[in-house]
Amino acid sequence: MAKDFLQIEGLSRDDLERLLSEASRNLPIAEQKVARKESLTGRVVANMFFEDSTRTRCSFETAVHRLGGEVFNLSESGSSTRKGETLVDTALNVEAMGVSAIVVRTSVSGGAALVARRVRCPVINAGDGRHEHPTQGLLDLLTLREGIGRLEGRTIAIVGDIANSRVARSAIHGLSTFEARIRLVGPPTLLGRSYCDLSGRPDLVTIHHDLDAILHDLDAIMMLRIQNEREAGGAVAGDYREMYGLTPARAARLPSHAIVLHPGPVNRGVEIDDTVADDLPRSRILRQVTQGVAARMAVLERVLMDAGTSATLAA
């Protein structure tokens, strides 16, 4: 694997299998059932989060601590980008302080890759604009495999604001790598035929505007929120909940084994109702959060252990 972790697109099935196996082994640590590791002792990781986040930022911070490392958080409001400094210059200055890796979250699509091209330390993409959210993709695969077993031949719906969702993009790439059938569902304004080609496997991806028509055929359903911060709200006409919300009536029409995912933040009463979001064990929303710590531990170890090996070989 490359020194950085920037996207799911392009990763082989073997790469993903190794990361998922490592993440699974980390679960007892993430759940605090066993003691933390010390694999990152003496390492400092910088969280550069220049876009709002709760789950991802706290998850990375927790993952570093569970591996015995140290972390510091830098937000846009507390950085010199407010004074005109570029994202790359900020990252170069952070690297010069002696950090071992930089985690980047930015509203700029491709922003993490821009940083990775300029710094020597590993860079992990924690979400960049509309491009990808690869660690979310990894934790979603982990949660799905725990909930429904093998992914090959399974049918997973992704419902909502596909056009603006980096989560959907990473999920499409990951699920298609494992030969899952993907149903993209939402209003025409938030979908397009081009999304069938994202995976390079258009035979696995289909577009749907009628959620009710496919509920009976699903093994899992991933609900997405409308991303108003990316000006998506105006693209949706009419009553969104009535057409695409996962209500108790719709949930009742899912197969009994089907599970429900949501990357958060959840807008209750819009894309998903309270009783569905809180319906355990069908709802795996909080389980995704736990899996996120384990998945990010795996990514941190992979990039930092590979970086350490490369440095030793170079010496």
List beta partners, residue 223: 159
Structural domain includes residue 229 = yes
* 280 shares a domain with 139: yes
Provide CB contacts within 8 A for 143, sequence distance 6+: 259, 261, 284, 287, 288, 291
Give domain status of residue 127, yes or no: yes
| 157 and 273 fall within a common domain | yes
Residue 151 located in a structural domain: yes
The CATH number linked to 114 is 3.40.50.1370
DSSP state for residue 120 in the 8-state scheme:
S
State how far the Cα of 179 lies from the Cα of 199, in Å rounded to an integer: 10
Strand ranges, E, within the chain = 44-49, 70-75, 101-106, 123-128, 155-159, 181-185, 205-208, 220-223, 259-261
Could you tell me the strand order of the sheet in which 259-261 lies?
205-208, 181-185, 155-159, 220-223, 259-261
Distance CA 304, CA 52 (A): 25
Are residues 258 and 237 part of one domain? yes
What residues of the chain score a pLDDT lower than 70? 1, 77-84, 192-196, 199, 228-238, 308-315
**Distances in whole angstroms, Cα of residue 177 to Cα of each of 113, 128, 281:** 22, 21, 27
Tell me which amino acid residue 142 is. L
121 shares a domain with 138: no
In this structure, the answer to whether residues 149 and 80 fall within a common structural domain is: no
Whether residues 302 and 257 fall in one domain: no
Q: Quick check: is 211 in a domain?
A: yes
In the prediction, which pLDDT does 194 show? 65
Can you read off the two tokens belonging to residue 2? 């490359």
Domain containing 57 equals 13-133+292-310
Let me know whether 152 and 123 are in one domain.
Answer: no
Same domain, 35 and 87: yes
User: What's the number of domains the chain is made of?
Assistant: 2
Question: Do 99 and 241 share a domain, yes or no?
Answer: no
